[in-house]
């Protein structure tokens, strides 16, 4: 099956990275909207237009399903895309339910981009889970910019995160939820800052599991790598330097995979 993965930039590679390992027999197309990243600082109207353009491109590539591997795009546009297109569309959801299932009645810090944090979708999720008194929301939008330029664990990244989190009594939290796929590249720095008992959670496995459920795919393990084509805003990536850049992101995700 040919499956499209879409993100504003390279954050969605973290979801594709997981899918590659358990669905190696499938064919993947990864669309990074590098011309318009970041989405988190754009208006909802702009994001909706960018997402629709990406969907038109992916559907023209004859994909059988689309994974919106971007929390911001999911928050703004997935409902409208499902109304417009008939193929399976799988969105991202911050792993708040996972956190509450693991640690009932414990506080959770949900991090995301500003547009996700202020959006109605996250409010509906919190209300649905009766987590109004447990979930706190924090925008960490600058991490998207750090990730896009592959500045993963510099002094500037650590200074930024310590500054953004300094007003929280982190000892009182059970977990920190990564509500933006770009944030997965910074698990090692977050692990340095967070108390040992605070777990770092993301929604990648849940998203891929939902893809499997919606498409009746079978997970498997294989030594061979799956077939992947990368596109930047609709342009096929063939330049060796850009392919090496993408490979560096995937290697980084290999390193972050074991950090919780």
The CATH 3.40.50.1860 portion of the chain extends over: 2-92+204-256, 96-202
> What percentage of the chain reaches a pLDDT higher than 90?
88
pLDDT score at 179: 94
> What percentage of the chain reaches a pLDDT higher than 70?
98
**Residue 41 binned pLDDT confidence (cut-offs 50, 70, 90):** confident
Q: Find out whether 197 and 30 touch, Cβ atoms under 8 Å.
A: no
Which CATH number is 2-92+204-256's, of 3.40.1190.20, 3.30.1950.10, 3.40.50.300, 3.40.50.1860?
3.40.50.1860
DSSP H helices, 166-260, are: 187-193, 204-215, 240-256
Of the candidate ranges 83-87, 187-191, 224-228, the one whose mean pLDDT is the lowest: 224-228
Q: How far is Cα 108 from Cα 99, in angstroms, rounded to an integer?
A: 7
Mean pLDDT of all residues in 164-179: 97
pTM, two decimals, is: 0.91
From the CB of residue 146, how many other CB atoms can be counted at a distance below 10 Å? 22
pLDDT score at 218: 84
Does 222 score more than 70 pLDDT? no
pLDDT score at 161: 98
**pLDDT tens digits for 45-86?**
999 999 999 999 999 999 999 999 998 999 899 999 999 999
**Residue 220 binned pLDDT confidence (cut-offs 50, 70, 90):** confident
CATH of domain 96-202: 3.40.50.1860
Mean pLDDT of all residues in 7-35: 94
Mean pLDDT of all residues in 206-231: 87
Does 260 score more than 80 pLDDT? yes
Q: Hey, which residues are catalytic here?
A: 70, 180
130, two tokens = 């009766």
Q: What residues contact residue 245 under an 8 Å CB cut-off, 6+ apart?
A: 150
**Residue 219 binned pLDDT confidence (cut-offs 50, 70, 90):** confident
pLDDT score at 241: 95
Q: How far is Cα 69 from Cα 93, in angstroms, rounded to an integer?
A: 10
Mean pLDDT of all residues in 163-187: 97
Does 44 score more than 70 pLDDT? yes
**Residue 194 binned pLDDT confidence (cut-offs 50, 70, 90):** very high
SS3 labels along 31-63: EECCCCCCCCCCCHHHHHHHHHHHHHHHHHCCC
How many secondary structure helices (H) and strands (E) does the chain include? Answer: 11, 10
pLDDT score at 40: 82
CA dihedral 208, 209, 210, 211 (to 10 degrees): 50
Instruction: Return the closest-CA partner of residue 8 out of 50, 47, 46, 37.
Output: 37
């Amino acid at each position: 099956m040919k499956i499209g993965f879409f993100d504003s930039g390279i954050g969605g590679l973290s979801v594709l990275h997981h899918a590659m390992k358990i669905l190696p027999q499938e064919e993947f197309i990864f669309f990074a909207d590098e011309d318009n990243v970041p989405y988190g600082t754009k208006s909802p109207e702009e994001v909706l237009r960018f997402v629709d353009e990406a969907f038109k491109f992916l559907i023209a590539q004859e994909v059988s399903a689309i994974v919106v591997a971007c929390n911001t795009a999911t928050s703004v546009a997935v409902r409208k895309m499902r109304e417009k297109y008939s193929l399976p569309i799988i969105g991202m959801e911050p792993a708040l339910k996972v956190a509450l299932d693991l640690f009932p009645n414990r506080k959770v810090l949900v991090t995301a981009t500003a547009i996700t944090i202020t959006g109605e979708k996250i409010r509906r999720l919190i209300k649905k889970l009766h987590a109004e008194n447990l979930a706190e929301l924090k925008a960490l939008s600058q991490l998207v910019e750090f990730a896009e330029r592959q500045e993963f664990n510099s002094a500037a990244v650590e200074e930024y995160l310590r500054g953004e989190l300094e007003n929280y009594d982190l000892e009182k939290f059970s977990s920190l939820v990564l509500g933006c796929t770009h944030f997965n590249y910074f698990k090692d720095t977050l692990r340095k800052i967070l108390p040992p008992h605070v777990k770092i959670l993301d929604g990648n496995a849940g998203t891929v599991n939902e893809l499997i459920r919606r498409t009746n795919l079978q997970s498997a393990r294989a030594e061979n790598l799956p077939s992947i084509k990368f596109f930047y805003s609709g342009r096929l990536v063939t330049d060796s330097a850009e392919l090496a850049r993408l490979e560096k992101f995937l290697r980084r995700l290999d390193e972050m995979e074991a950090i919780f």
